[in-house]
Amino acid sequence: MIRNYDKLIFELSKEGRAGYSLPKKEIEGYCMCCGLPENLKRESKPELPEVTEFDVVRHYTNLSNKNFGVDTGFYPLGSCTMKYNPRINEEMAAHPSFVNLHPELPVECAQGALEVYYNLANSLAEISGLSAFTLNPYAGAHGELTGLMIMRQYHIQRGDLKRTKVIVPDSAHGTNPASAAVCGLQIVEVKSTANGTVDVEDLKPLLDDTIAGIMMTNPNTLGIFETEIPEISRLVHECGGLLYYDGANLNAVLGKCRPGDMGFDIMHINLHKTFSTPHGGGGPGDGPVGVRAGLEQLLPNPQVKKDSEGKFYICTDDKSAGYVSNFLGNFAVIARAYTYILTLGRENVKMVGPLAVLNANYVKESLKNEYYLPIEGVCKHEFVFDGLADKSTGVTTLDIAKRLLDYGYHAPTIYFPLLFHQSIMIEPTETESKETLDEFIAVMKKVAQEAIENPDIVKSAPHSTPVRRLDETTAARFPKTTYRQMKG
């Protein structure tokens, strides 16, 4: 490995080099340069790199060495479910019979692909206790937006136009209120109780005929199961609203209980969390949306169905909430998630939640003397510490996160949820072994010890990473976001 590799691809460029091979021109007499009118042609030359194929391979391999993935090491990033991403999923997603399918293919030429879509949608419905799923939304946030569109359409089609508010818990992820706003809904925040769950007494006065619904995760962002969910469901439905389930934390209850059985009407699932598709450095994911019986027609168009002869077809529904994507979502991601479900099978899907929850509780109980645990009790797939137990050291959550990088770990999610000042949110997932967790626990304890004995080494961490702490202020004040700007 080349240490300290610091070149940009542009800095490798040398005029005259090329990294492509294209077929020879077989058709003469059709010259673009003479055929295209001058005023439609580009005036400037795009400054793209001129490099060889081998330059490109080395360059990006070196860049990859500056990255940390689940394949590299333990990645306890709370709320992101960084579980193992099996390679058989990749192999099936790259299956040559699927990758070259154009979305405009006649349906009779794409029966295999449609079957994958249809079967995954049905599997998700079974797993979540809902009636039907669309796989069209591209990501979790996109699924949220789609789900809220369905919620609004439900009220609009009943002629109930007053319902323009959605209730969101104060512990919710930032995308919840942001998605609601993009969907034209106003946000009403409901408070959490001291033990982190939705305060039902605070909820009651908020419920009136302007409420479209409530967005919740269960377990919530603190990793605590909302045991009052049957009562919340009753209250919200009684006022005429719908319950939206943010599937970010579905891994916790996978196989143990189902959002549909909890009373939720609409939900999204993050295939890149619960169903093991890779996060890809921030995408592509896929954000399927499910609905309870009676709301199926509202799912976005186009929709995939099966006829009485077992043939799959694509259709649209006039009552649909609309179109949210180019076609049928990120098909290659859908193929990965389906492969994962087939690999687990009915006998193993039900073990995902229990083992994820076991891992989380094991880490929590092992570290609660060194780190401050604001809410005691059994957690679900994740839990939150509010910084170190010893508050006298001056070592912050940020410092702890950075020190963990030195020890070869990705940091947990930090400063979220916003309910605490020094949140450290840890989600180990079910694919980590006891040995991995034991090593992590030992390192977390060591960092807590360092915070007391040698706080400076923690405060100035990381020390061993490709780069150290960054000047984010200058980056934001004088933004340089392209090579051209960087050169000045």
Partner 1 sequence: MKYFPHTQDDIEQMLATAGLKSMDDLFGEIPEQLLFKREFDLPEAMSEVEIRKFFDALGKKNSQLVCFAGAGVEDHYAPSIINPIISRGEFLTAYTPYQPEISQGTLQYIFEYQSMICELTGMDVTNASMYDGCTATAEAMMMCVAAAKKRNKVLVSATMNPKVKRVVETYAFYNGVVVETVAEKDGVTDLADLQNKLNGDDVAGVILAQPNFYGIVEDYSGVAEMCHAKKALMVMNANPSALAVLKTPAEWGADIACGDGQTLGIPMNYGGPYVGYLACTNSLVRKLPGRIVGSTTDVDGKRAFVLTLQAREQHIRREKANSNICSNQSLMALYVTIYMSLMGHKGLKEVNKLSYAGAHYLAEQLVATGKCAMVYDKPFLNEFAVRTTVCPKKIQTALLEKGILGGVRIADDMLLFCVTEQRSKAEIDLLVETVKNL
Q: What is the dihedral of CA 11, 50, 15, 20, to 10 degrees?
A: 160
Q: Which stretch binds partner 1 (CB under 8 A): 202-210, 356-364, 419-427, 450-458?
A: 356-364
In the bound state with partner 1, the residue whose beta carbon lies nearer, of 68 and 452, is 68
| CA pair distance 269, 248, nearest whole angstrom | 7
What H or E segment, with its residue span, contains residue 132?
Answer: strand 132-134
In the bound state with partner 1, the residue whose beta carbon lies nearer, of 112 and 294, is 112
Give residues with Cβ within 8 angstroms of 465, minimum separation 6: 405, 406
Q: What is the CA radius of gyration of the chain?
A: 25
Please provide the size of the chain in residues: 488
Q: Which stretch binds partner 1 (CB under 8 A): 290-298, 327-335, 419-427, 449-457?
A: 327-335
Looking only at residues 364 through 393 of this chain, which bind partner 1 when binding is defined by CB under 8 A? 364-366, 377-378
- 330 contacts partner 1 (rule: CB under 8 A): yes
What H or E segment, with its residue span, contains residue 203?
Answer: helix 200-203
**Closest approach of partner 1 to the CB of residue 454, in Å:** 18
- 41 contacts partner 1 (rule: CB under 8 A): yes
| CA pair distance 169, 191, nearest whole angstrom | 6
Looking only at residues 96 through 115 of this chain, which bind partner 1 when binding is defined by CB under 8 A? 96-106, 108-113, 115
Looking only at residues 14 through 33 of this chain, which bind partner 1 when binding is defined by CB under 8 A? 17-20, 22-23, 25-33
| CA pair distance 288, 121, nearest whole angstrom | 8
Site string for partner 1, 188-217 (x = CB under 8 A): ------------------------------
Size of the site for partner 1 (CB under 8 A): 200
Tokens of 134: 């669309």
| CA pair distance 258, 263, nearest whole angstrom | 9
Q: Which stretch binds partner 1 (CB under 8 A): 204-212, 352-360, 386-394, 449-457?
A: 352-360
Which residue matches tokens 């033990």? 195
Q: Which stretch binds partner 1 (CB under 8 A): 203-211, 235-243, 288-296, 343-351?
A: 343-351
| CA neighbor of 221 nearest in space, from 367, 80, 353, 127 | 80
Residue 302: cis peptide before it, omega within 30 degrees of 0:
yes
Looking only at residues 281 through 310 of this chain, which bind partner 1 when binding is defined by CB under 8 A? 281-285, 300
> Which of 126, 199, 202, 317 is close enough to bind partner 1 by CB under 8 A?
126
In the bound state with partner 1, the residue whose beta carbon lies nearer, of 118 and 452, is 118
- 452 contacts partner 1 (rule: CB under 8 A): no
**Closest approach of partner 1 to the CB of residue 208, in Å:** 20
> Which of 74, 78, 121, 144 is close enough to bind partner 1 by CB under 8 A?
144
The residue type of 242 is L
